[in-house]
Chain A
Amino acid sequence: MTDVLVVAELHEGSNRKTTLSAITFAAQVASGTGGAFDILAIGEGSGAAAEQLAGFGARKILKTEIAGGFFAEAYAATVAKAAEGYGVIAATASSYGKDLLTRVAAKLEAGTAPDISAVSTEGGELVYTRPMYAGNVIGKMKVLTDVQVVTVRQTEFAAASAAGGSSPIEDFAAVTDPIAERIELLGLETVESERPDLAEAEVVVAGGRALKSAENFENVLEPLADALGAAVGASRAACDAGYVAADLQIGQTGKVVAPKLYVAIGISGAIQHLAGMKGSKVIVAINKDKEAPIAQVADYFLAQDLFEAIPQMTSEIKKIKAAG
């Protein structure tokens, strides 16, 4: 019997959808071992966030209000204290989960299973599956310590849906940590977008260096994304060149996506990029160079100049959508 504590990810007083993937994992472990799961909502707006999570089947929800934005040092001591009595502490492997849970694990002297893609129970023990070597090897591992800390890959654990019921909510007192006094969070710049979140989108349109400028991203690629109802992503080269914000980078460095449709535009497909998108269901590559490595993972490949192909594709897609 293993009880799981899910650490919710809050942003601006609300849960990020990442939280729901960690709940799916926790429910799997709890049902596989005959245990239960609880959720810790920690941060600014924890009360409202806890309310949002009350219908997901948790035994109880703990809430801790901590003002100011997130940095791991401000939360880790509280999470470590809340972790007492649980066998598994879990969050999604977003930058939040990686920052925070790894520190929590160190405080608890617990082993970590990072960025896992699956969990199973073998002989009463939890076995974690995780991609390694930019997704070119799949490893299976166990955590040997009494407490196990786990971060889960969002694309591999579907978002939990509310099952009804109403988990009781309890206050949990914050614990201060002297390390936190050495960090001052001065601000967070976010790029607001009407488009779907990259990690959750069903369609992703991603551009590479061949787009040549931020203006071309906006005027050539984004209309296609909007016609498809897609999120916009980018290769490292496009982010480094400043064509789009760094948080749109897809790959081993950056976000991992697995949409139903991935359209790679002017992306050659370095191994580090493939690591972030080769789990997509259908991959389309549009690239002048037929020999580009993206061809190794593409289902459909159009060898054409993107500045001709993309506006034409945008209008073809609009026609289909209009025909409904």
Chain B
Amino acid sequence: MKILVPIKRVADPDNANKLKVSADGAQVTSEGLEWKMNPFDEWSLETALRLTENAATKKREGEVVVVTIGPKDATVTIRQGLAMGAERGILVEGSDDQLDANQVASILAALVAKESPDLVLMGKQVVDGDSNVVPQTLAEKLGWPTANYTQSLETGDEGKTLSIRREQDTGVATLKITGPAVLTCADRILLPQAVKNGITPADFEYPKAEGGRYASLKGIMAAKRKPIEETSAAALGVEAGPSVSYVGFELPPARSGNTQFVESVEELVQKLHSDAKVV
């Protein structure tokens, strides 16, 4: 099974409250914040790795290709993916903060045409733009089905059919999808038995995790020798223009910041009743 996993670097999401906006409001600046792999992309990469391995014997049983669109520096993020276990990487050189969802989806569609993966597994949103637009746009461009917010996944028929449970606002839907398809993951995909590929023994349990697997030292060394192909939107024949444009940014108004520390339940309830008048 071959899986394409788009990944993007983002300013450290655990410190997103330290982001600033330039004086003219034209851009968001993340100075001082480390680049991290978008966490939702990392979970999708973890899912792709689980689908293409025998977890009991630690043998790879397929191919995972990580792709990012960004400047040369973004190669660091690809290496992280390779160190986790992906087989190879693709860097589409370009800006990673100017392209809109339509352009990103167009580039990814061109890569899918070139690579012919069985699946695209991607983050449901990037934690900078928080849009959740690219996966469905890409699927539509490809004429593929989508399962958004997949919480568990089992492949059958050598990856051609997918039994999926996906989270939605009204509950959990069970779907059977004939691939190829575009999938995004919900948090629950990292649970110990959420991913089944017919190769890893069915009773195998992954360790509890809040993110993707850590790269081993061996993995980090191996990643240095794994191939990274460099290309560009132009080389892929993508000419899509932007369909949206940001006109400015601002920081949200802060909450009052006057936290009242109360000493007892009686005091709390009395204040909620008499001062805040919400009880």
Q: Which of A183, A187, A239, A282 contacts B276 (CB 8 A)?
A: A282
User: Contact string, A146-190, partner B, CB cutoff 8 A, digits 1/0?
Assistant: 000000000000000000000000000000001110111111111
- With both beta carbons as reference points, the residue of chain B lying nearest to A241 in the complex is identified as B208
Segment at the interface with B among A31-39, A56-64, A270-278: A270-278
A246 touches B167 (CB 8 A): yes
What size tier do the contact residues of chain B reach?
Answer: 35 or more
Q: Cα distance A184–B163 when bound, in Å?
A: 10
Q: Is residue A88 contacting chain B, with contact meaning CB distance below 8 A? A: no
B133 touches A112 (CB 8 A): yes
B173 touches A313 (CB 8 A): no
Q: Cα distance A95–B148 when bound, in Å?
A: 9
> Known contacts A228-B279, A261-B272: does B140 contact A103 (CB below 8 Å)?
yes
Q: Is residue A299 contacting chain B, with contact meaning CB distance below 8 A? A: yes
A134 touches B169 (CB 8 A): no
Query: Which residues of chain B from 109 to 135 have any CB-CB distance to chain A below 8 Å in the complex?
Result: 124, 127-133
B279 surroundings in chain A (CB, below 8 A): 228, 261, 317, 320
Q: Could you tell me the distance in whole angstroms from the C-beta of B190 to the nearest C-beta in chain A? A: 8
Q: Is residue A290 contacting chain B, with contact meaning CB distance below 8 A? A: yes
Q: Cα distance A316–B149 when bound, in Å?
A: 40
- With both beta carbons as reference points, the residue of chain B lying nearest to A281 in the complex is identified as B278
Q: Cα distance A227–B210 when bound, in Å?
A: 33
A141 surroundings in chain B (CB, below 8 A): 244-247
Q: Which of B105, B140, B168 contacts A107 (CB 8 A)?
A: B140
Q: Is residue A137 contacting chain B, with contact meaning CB distance below 8 A? A: yes
Q: Could you tell me the distance in whole angstroms from the C-beta of A276 to the nearest C-beta in chain B? A: 11
Q: Cα distance A255–B187 when bound, in Å?
A: 13
B136 touches A102 (CB 8 A): yes
Q: Is residue B236 contacting chain A, with contact meaning CB distance below 8 A? A: no
**Could you list which residues of chain A lie within 8 angstroms of chain B, going by C-beta atoms?**
11, 16, 18, 69, 71-73, 76, 94-96, 98-99, 102-103, 105-107, 109-115, 127, 131-145, 178-180, 182-191, 199, 203, 228, 236, 239-240, 245-247, 249, 252-253, 255, 260-261, 270-272, 278, 281-284, 290, 295-304, 309, 312-313, 316-317, 320
Sample of 23 A–B contacts (CB below 8 Å): A71-B175, A72-B136, A95-B149, A95-B169, A99-B136, A107-B140, A112-B244, A131-B130, A131-B252, A140-B247, A179-B144, A182-B145, A183-B176, A184-B175, A186-B174, A228-B279, A240-B188, A261-B272, A278-B255, A296-B257, A299-B258, A302-B262, A302-B268
